[in-house]
Chains A and B, each alone.
Chain A
Amino acid sequence: MTLASFIALWLAVAIALELFSRRALRLYRLVRSGKPVARFDDVPARARAEATDVLGQRKLLQRLVPGLVHAAIFWGFIVLFPTILIAMIGAVNPHGTLPRLGAQGWYALLVDVFALAVLIGVGAAFVIRKLVRPARFQGSHLGEADLILGLIAGIVLTLFLWHSSQIALGLNDYPAAWAPISNALSRVVAPVAPVTERVAVWAHVLIILSFLVYLPYSKHLHILVAAINVYFGRTRARGRLEPINFEAPETEVRFGSGRASDMTWKQMLDTMSCTECGRCQDVCPAYYTGKALSPKLLIMAMRDNLFSGSTAPIVPNAVTDDIVWDCVTCGACVRECPVNIEHIDHIVDLRRHLVMVESRFPEEAGTMLRDVDRTSNPWGRPQSDRMQWADGLGVRVLQPGEEPPDVLFWVGCAPAFDERARKAAVSTAKLMQQAGVDFAVLGPRESCTGDPARRMGDEYTFQRLANENVATLNGAKVKKIVTTCPHCFNTIGNEYPDFGGRYQVVHHSEFLAELVRDGRLQPAASERTITYHDSCYLARHNDVRAQPRELVAAVGKAVEMPRNRERTFCCGAGGARMWMEEKRGRPINQERVREAAATGAETLAVACPFCTVMLDDGVRETGAKLQVFDLATLLHEAVAGRQTAEEL
């Protein structure tokens, strides 16, 4: 140990720490200045998320090969962490090491194995980035990524060089045989070991310290922030949006995000966690069909805007209006993100500010908002028309004061006012009557759940409708609700509890599947080939994937599309886009219809009135040889078919 090397090390560490903390402190203060959001509840769930998503690399492994590449580097980093300290000690004193751990053979083995794993991982990463060149990296900072991979490789290579030099000089405290790779290398470096040992250890330490300084200025910041971001992620239902408290004093009400300073601290953390991996971009239906929106580029833009300290409005300076309105809130991005960024929350918050404060949104959507506000449904039709779909069916309309039925059939606006969506409601009603279910509808007392207004960012109108509906439902003492619409299902089930409405909410596919299972409905099987389109609000936001498939299997032969279940591809109507025009690129609904037609199935089965309309339009527009039917309609046909067959 020399005084010079001691001083040199501490100087290097001190400088590195100073530079690092200056930036880190700025980032910390930035996050502390973020607007409040309640993410301190449910510690067990948060701890679980850390275990599975951070330690277990669950989201990364959704794509196996790139996932394994990253896992190797990540787990390697964890195992190799103590070697940073060991190297610093060794830089000052060639004979020094961490007490106990430095002498453990098992640890030396782990280090060798994981260092090699990291090296292979980095190599594979370079192959992916340079040879395979996946589209998801379009728009990402590739040079930065290369530098980071290079630095990691440098760290591991200098570690091997140092260990092999140590072994050649007999400086190792751990038994050399337990570090097979370093041991083998030691024979190669033996002639120059005295030089390489010093050079390698100092190079190793300096690379690490430079990396430390570079960290908070690059996307590698994620190694500090991502784990924290995962901890503070959403623990409640995926389909639920955070309400705004309008009763707070005017200066405290947060109308979404207008400027960077309006973002919540969690949203700021989100932008700092982004690694620009592009998995979200890859699955985004808007990006896929040539729209302006890329979830990755959006988060990067929000991050850059945040760091720039700009006080200008986010829209249109950092993010264009088109980007904000292109989103269908399908959640595919959120599902893919390895660091649990919550893209939908960002977009809805941008929309909230645009709609509620600036009144700045696509004109055609304005018609829908006004209609929802004034006539309590997005079609602008009178509430008194809500029972037209049930003409002649003998469906009971629950009157105020009457005893509630076992099940309240929440019809929704689409079946009431759109002729194509009507069939599902009619079929469902007839099937429930056949199965002897005690049900009723609210008729003109049903108002829009407010979902389209909420997804557009008009939280104010949404809350008014939510409170009205909750008052009606609670007043009617309703306990169980079945609905044909996944948006109603999501809003009433996941969002109404925030407004005092707690009911057992079931989607009609779940309800009908149970009736079939119980034998109360007996469909005839058939050879008809059916491909089922998973609705985003059912399959992804709410994990309802199996029951619709039970129904498909009961009435025909199932053929799956490539993008199915939680990987489903949106029909294009979500995020209130049902009421907006697609101005660029290819229509999303046609894209999905092409995918369905390619399966060769005769029938495209759906479980949502919006999917029905969008995909039916898509079939007409593309001329595909497909017929679009709701599961309820298919089931009704099959049940009727079985009865006719039995009568004959």
Chain B
Amino acid sequence: MVLSDDARAINTQHLGFTMSPHEECGVEEAVRLIEANQGESVVVTLGPPEAVEQLRDAMALGIDRAIHLHSDGREWDGESTAAALLEAIRADEEAHGHFDLIFFGNESADSAGYQVGIRIAYALGRPCVTGLKKVTLEGASVRCEQEVEDGRDVYVVPLPAVLTVKEGLNLPRYPSVPGRMRARTKPVHVIAPTRPEPRLELVRLALPAGAGRRAESLGSGPAAAPAVVEVLVKAGVL
């Protein structure tokens, strides 16, 4: 990882962008639910203009339309992100009716704040279940399976609800090219929200100092097997 000169962002030259893995599963789940139940799906993101590519990717999977909140390139913390998304969701619900389900990734791959979905659920007054690996519609409720250390915990909540999901929920499809081509013309509604002063304010980023692991070589090839066994014995597992 290389940081920008002012150490407030990652140097993204030569890097490709993609949707967070948890979120991609959320998109796939939304597409599957609409395929099975009729209806409409919307994908929304807060990000720079280039983020429209990820919206097009989501629409290539089958999402009907997109809302793009332009972040003007600045850093938005979890609370500010949730506030902006909330406003966009409220406006959309007023215009097009309420969402039966809103999916979020459990946490984003980069800043991992764990809070955007939950904040929006509370603001909308809807039940929120997090960390889901399986989602099943049951009439006017939804049955949710959350992965825990010794198996899965099950919740059942009524619609409308907010769910945060994790990778492993499903295997996202590989988008078909006709799907990608159609996605190029699907509607993207652009909003430019005002960024509030963040209460969790980024000062700078830093790379962690040295891994701290010594990388002692035990040898090469099968001849190193006895040395490995010795390490296992010393660790008390053999």
Check A-B contact in the complex, CB < 8 A: yes
Stretch at the interface among A117-125, A366-374, A494-502: A366-374
B16 pairs with A460, CB closer than 8 A: no
Q: How large is the interface on B (under 10, 10 to 19, 20 to 34, 35 or more residues)?
A: 10 to 19
A384 pairs with B176, CB closer than 8 A: no
B178 pairs with A376, CB closer than 8 A: no
B180 pairs with A460, CB closer than 8 A: yes
Distance of A459 Cα from B176 Cα, bound (Å): 11
**Interface flags, A360-404, vs B, CB<8A=1, else 0:** 010000100110001110000011100000000000000000000
Interface assignment of B18: CB less than 8 Å from any CB of chain A: yes
**In-complex Cβ contact of B14 among A255, A357, A374, A383 (8 A):** A383
**In-complex Cβ contact of B176 among A357, A369, A370 (8 A):** A357
Distance of A459 Cα from B181 Cα, bound (Å): 13
B16 pairs with A359, CB closer than 8 A: no
Distance of A366 Cα from B16 Cα, bound (Å): 18
Shortest Cβ distance from B41 into chain A, in angstroms?
A: 19
B177 pairs with A384, CB closer than 8 A: no
Interface assignment of B125: CB less than 8 Å from any CB of chain A: no
A460 pairs with B15, CB closer than 8 A: no
B contacts, CB < 8 Å to A: 2, 13-16, 18, 173-178, 180-182
A contacts, CB < 8 Å to B: 246, 250, 253, 255, 355-359, 361, 366, 369-370, 374-376, 382-384, 444-445, 459-460
A356 pairs with B18, CB closer than 8 A: no
If A250-B181, A384-B2 touch, does A376 touch B176 (CB 8 Å cutoff)? no
**In-complex Cβ contact of B178 among A357, A361, A370, A374 (8 A):** A357
What residues of chain A lie closer than 8 Å to B14, measured between beta carbons? Answer: 382-384, 444-445
Tally of contacts, chain A with chain B, CB under 8 A = 42
A376 pairs with B175, CB closer than 8 A: no
Distance of A375 Cα from B177 Cα, bound (Å): 19
Residue from A246, A253, A460 with most neighbouring chain B CB atoms (10 Å): A460
Distance of A375 Cα from B66 Cα, bound (Å): 24
Shortest Cβ distance from B168 into chain A, in angstroms?
A: 15
What are 29 inter-chain pairs, A to B, with CB distance below 8 A?
A246-B177, A246-B181, A250-B181, A250-B182, A255-B177, A255-B178, A356-B176, A356-B177, A357-B177, A358-B176, A359-B173, A359-B174, A359-B176, A369-B174, A374-B16, A374-B18, A375-B16, A382-B14, A382-B15, A383-B14, A383-B15, A383-B16, A384-B14, A384-B15, A444-B13, A445-B14, A459-B177, A460-B177, A460-B180
Distance of A356 Cα from B176 Cα, bound (Å): 5
What residues of chain A lie closer than 8 Å to B174, measured between beta carbons? Answer: 355, 359, 361, 366, 369-370
When C-beta atoms are compared, the residue in chain B nearest to A375 turns out to be B16
Distance of A229 Cα from B226 Cα, bound (Å): 65
What residues of chain A lie closer than 8 Å to B177, measured between beta carbons? Answer: 246, 255, 356-357, 459-460
When C-beta atoms are compared, the residue in chain A nearest to B182 turns out to be A250
Distance of A376 Cα from B18 Cα, bound (Å): 12
**In-complex Cβ contact of A376 among B2, B13, B16, B181 (8 A):** B16
What residues of chain B lie closer than 8 Å to A250, measured between beta carbons? Answer: 178, 181-182
What residues of chain B lie closer than 8 Å to A459, measured between beta carbons? Answer: 177
Distance of A246 Cα from B176 Cα, bound (Å): 13
What residues of chain B lie closer than 8 Å to A366, measured between beta carbons? Answer: 174
The 6 closest A-B pairs by CB, nearest first: A356-B177, A383-B14, A359-B174, A444-B14, A460-B177, A374-B16
Distance of A428 Cα from B48 Cα, bound (Å): 42
What residues of chain B lie closer than 8 Å to A445, measured between beta carbons? Answer: 14
Shortest Cβ distance from A165 into chain B, in angstroms?
A: 68
Distance of A383 Cα from B12 Cα, bound (Å): 11
Distance of A139 Cα from B13 Cα, bound (Å): 55
Shortest Cβ distance from A237 into chain B, in angstroms?
A: 25
Distance of A369 Cα from B176 Cα, bound (Å): 12
Residue from A356, A375, A459 with most neighbouring chain B CB atoms (10 Å): A356
What residues of chain A lie closer than 8 Å to B180, measured between beta carbons? Answer: 460
What residues of chain A lie closer than 8 Å to B178, measured between beta carbons? Answer: 250, 255, 356-357
When C-beta atoms are compared, the residue in chain B nearest to A461 turns out to be B177
What residues of chain A lie closer than 8 Å to B18, measured between beta carbons? Answer: 374
What residues of chain B lie closer than 8 Å to A246, measured between beta carbons? Answer: 177, 181
- Other A-B pairs beyond A357-B176, A361-B174, A366-B174, 16, CB < 8 Å: A246-B177, A246-B181, A250-B178, A253-B181, A355-B174, A356-B176, A356-B178, A359-B173, A359-B174, A359-B175, A374-B16, A374-B18, A383-B14, A384-B14, A445-B14, A460-B180
Distance of A356 Cα from B180 Cα, bound (Å): 10
